[in-house]
Structure 1
Amino acid sequence: MADMEKDDREERGYRGGRDRDDRDDRGGKDDDEKGGRRSFHRKKVCRFCADNEYIMDYKDARQMQQFVMDLGKIVPRRISGTCAFHQRKVTTAVKRARNLALIGFITSGPQDGYSSR
């Protein structure tokens, strides 16, 4: 009797569980179904380590603005690509530039319509 049930399952296309051929390890679909393009992630290189002539100066407001987000937060290492050593220097340089009013603490105002009275 067990052999008959096994034969019935094979005829119906039963494989003994879910069909996981179209999914990767995390449960998402393969890249092949999206058109065959795979994204290539290049490792970010610290611009200060790569180019020794690129000098960090807290008096250069344009350069300091590159390391500050729209709301005034300092851009983290994982986004800017700087190494830990130079990220600490960037942080102190941005804070010095803020204290000297070369760059603002908050570069843009609130977007929800509130205003100070």
Structure 2
Amino acid sequence: MRNVRQGNQGKQVKRRRRFGAGIREQTQCRFCREGTKYVDYKDIETLQKLLTHRGKIFSRKRSGNCAGCQRKVKTAIKRARFMALLPFSS
């Protein structure tokens, strides 16, 4: 049984499930909200908000971007790294 786990004495304990805990209202990403068609690789302030302090790109879940905008962000960050505007790592 999926919702049952065994304790030390062999007793079965049911876990409570919280319904609706993982359901959130769907919001638009910051680029879709602003109507941005192109993520500029020269806009370092915006791109740095989407990087960790180690220089890794935040995931879609963490940054809140949609799939299309996340691809645009990835391309912009890689271009900025190639042009030495952003570090590859820190």
Does TM, scored on the shorter chain, surpass 0.5? yes
Which structure is higher in helix share?
Answer: 1
Corresponding position: 1:87 with 2:56: no
Tell me which stretches of 4 or more aligned residues in structure 1 moved more than 3 Å: 17-20, 40-44
Which structure is higher in strand share?
Answer: 2
Is 1:47–1:54's contact at 8 Å kept on the other side of the alignment?
no
Superposition TM-score, scaled by structure 1 size: 0.54
Q: Which residue of the other structure, out of 31, 47, 51, is the alignment partner of 2:34?
A: 51
Is 1:68–1:75's contact at 8 Å kept on the other side of the alignment?
yes
- Structure with higher Rg: it is 1
Structure 2 gap ranges (5+): 1-10
Aligned-pair Cα RMSD in Å? 2.7
Equivalent pairs counted in the alignment come to: 77
Is 1:56–1:90's contact at 8 Å kept on the other side of the alignment?
yes
Corresponding position: 1:25 with 2:52: no
Q: Equivalent pairs: percent with the same residue?
A: 42
Could you say which structure has the greater relative contact order, defined with CA pairs below 8 angstroms and 6 or more residues apart?
A: 2
